[in-house]
Structure 1
């Protein structure tokens, strides 16, 4: 399966990158390891200068609001997955989805890089970061039978059949989500601009280490960017 960035995205976001990592997750466990990661998140964020009342001053957090404004949505209402995650951490609202999901969320927060994942068996054809087609339908995870109509300015991840993630990394679709039956997952690390804290490559390395620590089998990883706008994940 190929993963790619559409040329029109790179015209407007020339520094955009996608870090990708394919891993077997059927043997994931490590609940205690993930609980320890979650318990130490706020202190570790404080250590790198990320505080509840100042996090929006950090460019790696703040600049995603500029990206969302460019997509024609209010960034105070539609927040990047990174900002949403940090806000939950500082509110003490620690999530509990599964060891795999909780693990990559922890790495995302500590790397200041939005991250997500899809079940590879639910993807069809290649996965592309592109602009949505006007009126294209998106079926969000955790929203019942709700349907969102996309606009042309919205950046989405899409395979050959469906929108897999809306507003770059705002929300995944229920039709490609990682769940208890997932055997192979494709993890994504998002970057729309030059970052200050961690690079996509550093985020991928941290993700690989933590997934391995909970029993996942990392098979292959890489980065797509303007220099190499597509890659084969198999």
Structure 2
């Protein structure tokens, strides 16, 4: 699938980069006990690490809040998805298992302090552009609300925006019927190329371990 970062976004954040993974012939289903246990243990250890700390002091959370400010979105009102996960864990409102693809997304998002989106390729059309949302753009999100996309970073295809590091739309989520998927890791701009590749490849290999199929990855951006 063709994916590009808009010139406006690249000019605003010169080091902006994404980990892009494309999966084929995967099998999504209930999470195996191993994954459920790892997600639970990681949340418990994160909870204790956050004692007497502010979530906004974490480097990944901090960096993505700065990105929201740069694009013109108030990070205090619109918290990126990784920050939202950490705030839940800090309140001991631990994430329960949803299904294998979502659980793995959440696990890696907590581990690396970055937003991650995963989408059903059959529900997308044409090339994908990562850009800044325009005035009056909105979609119904997985949070159950109509979300304004103005000034947010969005992933958009020929039908319009379908994803964001804030919250994804209800148009293209991965379900247990998904066979081909696109995963977008919203990397920290400060991440080196070497570390970006290591992180992305690590996620890809674990995803294939649980879901089978084949996958390819690349780093998009500087």
TM-score, normalized by the shorter chain, greater than 0.5: yes
Structure 1 residues 37 and 16: CA distance shift in structure 2, 3 A: same
More helix as a share of residues: 2
Q: How many residues align?
A: 218
Secondary structure at 1:175 match in 2: coil
Aligned to 1:51: 50
Task: Specify every segment of 5 or more residues in structure 1 that has no aligned partner in the other structure, as ranges.
Answer: 227-234
After TM superposition, the structure 1 = structure 2 runs for residues 59-98 of structure 1, keeping only pairs within 5 Å, are: 59-92=59-92, 93-98=94-99
Question: In the alignment, what sits opposite 2:147?
Answer: 148
Aligned 8 A contact 1:19 1:189 in 2: yes
2:207 matched to 1:211? yes
Give CA-to-partner distance per residue, 1:149-170, whole Å, 9 cap, x none.
432x33211011121124xx01
Segments of 5+ residues of structure 2 without an aligned counterpart are none
| Deviation per residue, 1:77-117 (Å, 9 max, x gap) | 21111111122223332232211110121012112222110
How far is the alpha carbon of 1:138 from its aligned partner?
A: 1.9
1:70/1:192 Cα in 2 relative to 1: closer, same or farther (>3 Å)? same
| Alignment correspondent of 2:185 | 189
Per-residue deviation, residues 161-182 of structure 1 (Å, max 9, x unmatched): 121124xx01111111111211
Cα drift, residue 211 of structure 1: 1.0
Q: Structure 2 length normalisation: TM-score? A: 0.87
Contact map agreement 1:107 1:206 (CA 8 A) in 2? no
Secondary structure at the aligned position of 1:171 is classed as coil
Distance in structure 2 (CA, Å) of the matches to 1:216 and 1:45: 29
How far apart, in 2, do the equivalents of 1:46 and 1:154 lie?
29
**2:184 partner SS:** strand
Aligned to 1:117: 118
**Per-residue deviation at 1:192?**
4.7
Cα RMSD, aligned residues only? 2.3
Partner Cα distance (2:178, 2:167) in 1: 19
- Is residue 117–residue 186 contact of structure 1 (8 Å, CA) maintained in 2? yes
Match of 1:35 in 2: 36
Say if 1:215 and 1:132 are closer, same or farther in 2 by CA, change over 3 A: closer
Is residue 157 from structure 1 mapped to residue 155 from structure 2 by the alignment?
A: yes
TM-score by length of 1: 0.83
